[in-house]
Amino acid sequence: MKIIMLGAPGAGKGTQAKMIADKYGIPHISTGDIFRANIKNGTELGKKAKEYMDQGLLVPDELTCDLVVDRIAQPDAAKGYVLDGFPRTIPQAEALTAALKARGESVDYAIDVDVPDENIVNRMGGRRACLACGATYHVSFNPPKKEGICDVCGKELVLRDDDKPETVQKRLDVYHAQTQPLIDYYTKAGVLRSVDGTQDIDKVFGDITGILG
Ligand code: AP5
Ligand code: MG
Give the C-alpha distances (Å, rounded to integers) separating 108 from 99, 150, 185, 186: 15, 32, 14, 10
Q: Is 71 a catalytic residue?
A: no
Of 45, 82, 141, the one to substitute when testing ligand 1's pocket (max ligand atoms within 8 A of C-beta) is 141
How far is ligand 1, taken at its centre, from the CA of residue 106, in Å? 24
Type of residue numbered 121: V
Contact 10, 118 (CB under 8 A): no
Does 50 contact ligand 1 (Cβ within 6 A)?
Answer: no
This prediction's pTM: 0.95
Taking only the tens place, the pLDDT of each residue in 109-121 is 999 999 999 899 8
For 23-39, write each residue's pLDDT tens digit: 999 999 999 999 999 99
15 ligand 1 Cβ < 6 A = yes
Whole-number Å distance, alpha carbon 114 to ligand 2 midpoint, is 14
* Dihedral, 136, 141, 144, 150 alpha carbons, nearest 10: 10
The pLDDT score that the predictor gives to residue 55 is 95
Catalytic residue, candidates 13, 18, 50, 123: 13
Longest dimension (CA), the chain: 47
Please tell me the predicted confidence (pLDDT) of residue 164.
Answer: 85
Q: Which ligand is nearest to the CA of 16?
A: 1
Q: Which of 16-30, 50-64, 122-136 has the lowest mean pLDDT?
A: 122-136
- Quick: pLDDT tens for 79-102: 999 999 999 999 999 999 999 999
Q: Could you tell me the distance, in angstroms and rounded to a whole number, from the CA of residue 202 to the centre of ligand 1?
A: 17
d(CA 56, CA 206): 31
Instruction: Using a pLDDT cut of 70, give the percent of the chain over it.
Output: 100
Q: Does domain 2-116+173-212 have CATH number 2.60.40.10?
A: no
Ligand 1 atom closest to the Cα of residue 7 is 14
What pLDDT is stored for residue 165 in this prediction? 86
* Residue whose CA lies nearest to ligand 1 atom number 7: 9
Which residues make up the environment of ion ligand 2, defined by Cβ < 5 Å?
14
Residue 85 Cα, ligand 2 centroid: separation in angstroms?
7
Starting from the CA of residue 157, give the closest ligand. 1
